[in-house]
Amino acid sequence: MARRVSALLCLGLMVVLVVGLAHWTHGFEVWTFEGRRQAQVQAGELRARPVPLRASDGSVLRWWGDADAAPAASLVAFVYTRCPSVCRVLGDEYQQMQRQLATRQGAGPTRRDVRLVSISFDAEHDDPAQLARYAANMRIDPRYWTLAVPATQDNASALLRSLGVVVIPDGAGGFVHNGAIHLLDERGRLRGLYAFDQWPQALEAAQRLALMRPEATR
């Protein structure tokens, strides 16, 4: 009897494991984390948590919880100001996109245009003063590019989780994190994922998304 019960328990655990694995891998078709995120994007499952963001000028932004206040299309990257590697590369790519937006959108972009957004996930270190110094170093033009940090570390964690972004402490005071560019619509839905070297494709996709909004033609 004891062996039969043990066998049934083992069988039950195997069934639970297989069902869970099938769900996680979308029917055993996706086996990498980024592959899973891409599948979730296609299914429309990921949406940015509408947490308060503090900009480098000290103002508080509440995008994605209010479609009327959010840009039509946002190209979002997650960074932290002490990052010596991927964040610097992302900064270079965003500078190139900023130059193109300045040419395409002119001197008076509206909230219906494409907005570049760099969000620090290091709320404990990156206060508005630190963000302002970083913005100056990166030559950020606030007409096209917003640098912000969630109001609290809990807000930062909630935002990262909502978009499936993984950030891991590296043991040396920094972080290992993904360098993807996230295309979000005005409601915070994740509409596309791009590697940092795919910024031209990301920018073109954002332009198309912005033109799809009815307000863009008014």
- SS3 for 175? strand
Is pTM beyond 0.85? Reply is: no
Residue 169 pLDDT? 87
Backbone dihedral region for residue 32 (phi beyond 0: left; psi -120 to 50: alpha; all else: beta):
beta
- Which class for 151: exposed (0-12), middle (13-18), buried (19 or more C-beta within 10 A)? middle
Q: Is the Cβ–Cβ distance between 95 and 20 less than 8 Å?
A: no
SS3 content of the chain, % helix, strand, coil (to 5): 45, 20, 35
Tokens standing for 171?
Answer: 């043991």
Quick: pLDDT tens for 83-110: 988 899 999 999 999 999 998 876 666 6
Give the pLDDT confidence of 12-46 residue by residue, as tens digits. Answer: 555 444 333 333 333 444 335 667 676 766 766 89
**pLDDT in the model for residue 26:** 38
On whether the CB atoms of residues 116 and 202 are closer than 8 A, the answer is no
Q: Answer yes or no: is pLDDT of 216 > 70.
A: no
Question: In which residue are the tokens 């500078």 written?
Answer: 95
